[in-house]
Amino acid sequence: MVTLAEPRLLQQSDGPPWDIDAYMRQGGYEAWRKCVKELTRDDIVAELKKSGLRGRGGAGFPTGIKWEKVLNHRVKEHYFVCNAGEHEPGTFKDRYLLKHAPHQLLEGCLIAAYTAQAKASFVYVNHEYQEERENLRKALEQARAKGFLGKNILGSGFDLEIELFEGQGSYVAGEETAMLESMQGRPAMPRQKPPFYPTDFGLYGKPTLVNNVETLCNIPRILRNGAAWFTQVGTEKCPGTMLFSLSGAVNKPGVYEMPMGTPLRRLIEDFGGGVPGGRKVKAAFPGGPAFSMVTADQLDLPMDFDSLKKAGTGLGSAGVIVVDDATCMVAQTLKFSDFFKNESCGQCPPCRMGTLNMATLLAKIERGEGAQKDLDALLQLCGFVKGTGYCTLVTGAAVLVQSSLRLFRQEFDDHIALKRCPSRPATAGVGAGA
Ligand SMILES: Cc1cc2nc3c(=O)[nH]c(=O)nc-3n(C[C@H](O)[C@H](O)[C@H](O)COP(=O)(O)O)c2cc1C
């Protein structure tokens, strides 16, 4: 089930998602027209900076500042890419927007490409999102028929086309520099940063504006309603709303929109309908598996980039995963550790070896074959690999293990002492009587 509890981001429409007339009846493409006819590119950037919009792809970087960097770059050949790679476990909010709001995304892309004076523009779409891609393709066709794309759009003298690019289908391929590499026919492997930030050195080595789907869907609404409207909700430093992908041990998983800074409890209990089967929350990943977990006594934490960072975790792209009190945390940690191991692109040795060794040690402990020295080795490994990769994958993998050991150490110790998972019954010959 997918619902939006307090729709503010999503432009309501009374027709199928790709129907441009239905979108325009609700004010769709007014912001686009205003950008081309009334505003200068500097005006657009100034309004975005005033709105305080921060990127929704994970890092929370201020969008207006990023746009300004590309617009004013001394190199004048620019590109624009919308990042719709979305491959993290428990994150599916961009999929929702692609499917239900293709015109709103397209309008955001048009404004971004126009403002950045992009020579070519792309939407990089997760290859599994076939239906979503089809909606976007139909929306593109209809926008072209209205003259919003193509040569000399709206008489501005500016030519603009947007191409769909089928993504590589790996987690790392969503990292912006890996995505740009793969778009040039090379392996989807991240570049070293600094110096290779896309705003300076992007597609074909030229300044490139990369934004997330949700970030771009916010743009038409901000420019149509004004920055002051946008900042009415959320926190001072994190204005607006965020789409939360809620999954795991909840009665009603789905995509929910909440103002930035809303407590996690509201998402889990009010929108998610609480934990099934009368069980309780044991832990939650507020920003997906790459950020520290929080425990049941932290459910009043405000959900925004700064508050979660202050609490020692992060919002990421707001993929919230709830874990109930019947779950073995060693098995849960192993599941995500396996994901990081499988998704490491293998370019950076500490990531390639580190994620493999972490998952191997965790599997050994989970099977009941571990010893205390394996826990020591795990912790040492985490400290060693953190911050070493060209992207943050290996850091996320280490943070996962560290947070699990910090919060649920007893469960790891019990697996070692009993030589089995305590939640599984002892059987003769498998740790019985240990
Ligand atoms: C391993 C990894 C995977 C990522 N995957 C995505 C993704 O699927 N979609 C996305 O928008 N950003 C993803 N990012 C973040 C992007 O690198 C980039 O920060 C973002 O697209 C910028 O857009 P924004 O400023 O609008 O947030 C990922 C980052 C990392 C380290």
Ligand 1 within 6 A of CB of 336: no
Q: What is the CATH number of the domain that holds 142?
A: 3.40.50.11540
Question: Any idea which residue has 């560290």 for tokens?
Answer: 402
**Which of these three, 182, 199, 230, is where a domain ends?**
230
Q: Residue 430 above 50 pLDDT? A: no
Smallest Cα–Cα separation from 63: which of 214, 244, 193?
214
Query: Which amino acid, residue 20?
Result: I
Tell me, yes or no, whether 301 and 337 share the same domain: no
Pair 140, 263 in one domain: no
Instruction: Render pLDDT for 359-391 as a digit per residue (tens, 0 to 9).
Output: 999 999 999 999 999 999 999 999 999 999 999
Instruction: With a cut of 60, say whether residue 71 has pLDDT above it.
Output: yes
Give every strand in the sheet of 78-84, ordered side by side.
162-166, 118-125, 78-84, 208-212
Structural domain for 288, as ranges: 241-324
**pLDDT score for 427:** 65
Q: Whose CA is nearest to atom 29 of ligand 1?
A: 175
- What would the pLDDT profile of 210-232 be if each residue is shown by its tens digit? 999 999 999 999 999 999 999 99
Domains identified in the chain, total number: 3
pLDDT above 50 (res 433): no
Q: Are residues 51 and 148 in the same domain?
A: yes
Average pLDDT over residues 143-150: 94
CB distance 170 to ligand 1 below 6 Å: no
147-156, 235-244, 348-357: least confidently modelled range: 147-156
pTM: 0.96
Instruction: Output the pLDDT for position 194.
Output: 86
Percent of the chain with pLDDT over 70: 97
241 contacts 235 by C-beta, under 8 angstroms: no
Instruction: Report pLDDT for 351.
Output: 97
Domain end point (choices 189, 208, 230): 230
User: Is residue 195 one of the residues assigned to a domain?
Assistant: yes
Whether the Cβ atoms of residue 365 and residue 412 lie closer than 8 Å to each other:
yes
- Mean pLDDT for all residues in the chain: 95
pLDDT given at position 52? 98
Question: Do 309 and 336 have their domain in common?
Answer: no
Whether 146 and 83 map to the same domain: the answer is yes
172 lines ligand 1 (CB under 6 A): yes
Whether residues 310 and 261 share a domain: the answer is yes
Segment 113-140, tens digit of pLDDT? 999 999 999 999 999 999 999 999 999 9
| CATH code, domain carrying 351 | 1.20.1440.230
